[in-house]
Structure 1
């Protein structure tokens, strides 16, 4: 009995036949390659920005929780309030005398930085004012007032330019109610910065995946359905 051996094509022919299914037509080869290059550029660029954002959000969330925990915290010196806007994100209004106690601290910003150094922080070594130092310098004042005054120095951070901080403190000594507008401006600037960052990251992702579509699924359209996407791989 004669046994017939199947005539399988060589492995190389099988590989070539398979690769034909994913071959890039010459007329779109350059466009596809450009799209792939742009995808990597936008994707990794957006990933870097997203990493920065992710590292900032926990700190910002903790700051919001801290501010909300300051409701009805003592000590306080009076009932007359300065009229904070609800958009400032504070759980309650601030007493005028509480704010005055902070802004009338006899120490200058430079003296606070020197008296309460923050170890291991390069910027504070260079003279920047840290919230921890400002808080220690006003440890007998109302914590909400301390945080509110510092929040006018910088947006959503715990470090401030010492010259900006001193200038604002001098301004509040003349009229403590100036803190209202300064705090609202600081908070709105912070909100706008977050919204802008999220928008730009989202836009970068949309552009990146648009290039991914043109680079690997050139002929696919939304009408083809997302489940059929693998069929258009090139």
Structure 2
């Protein structure tokens, strides 16, 4: 939000989660801990090792198990790789949805949107949002399950955010998919779709936060209750953006 390297931020977040998952349980017979370590090692080796490819021997070494133990839990390399992909989805969801509660609803929603936009505009994520991936997903049941999990969980998260706005008295409409489209649609059409379909990346004039602030502000201007507009003026919520701009020069 303040000019930090977002690629570095998400990398640090994922690595921290993996390091915790790779810690052996004191109970050496804990099968769930061994399986967790194996899956964490798969993701670590496939994304963060210099070779950036799956090597069962290195996975076993990082997980603290034998190669034979790996194949007692996973019958094939494809199953092993799929487990790593699903964990990757889970960790990215954890990163996107970690708590960002703020009394200013514009600031709060904008913060979540900024994470989403910054993550999905990283070059390293190009393969995860490409048309090719979606076509592959339609033919590959395991890959389809992983991408479906991502979209289902993200849909649940945003629906919960809309429901919270409604409970606070700020949103005048019942949370539904059309509202999610109204919130995220302008960002998708302006930023993600051109990059995905035509390889034409959108570059913000100032920051992603300001782009997302405008999108959030426009959404709540249209769908906010009279109470929201009253509180917006009373609490001077728009000043939070101006303060942020001043803070970052």
Same fold (TM over 0.5): no
Which structure carries more helix by proportion? 2
Q: Normalising TM by the smaller chain, what interval? A: under 0.3
TM-score by length of 1: 0.24
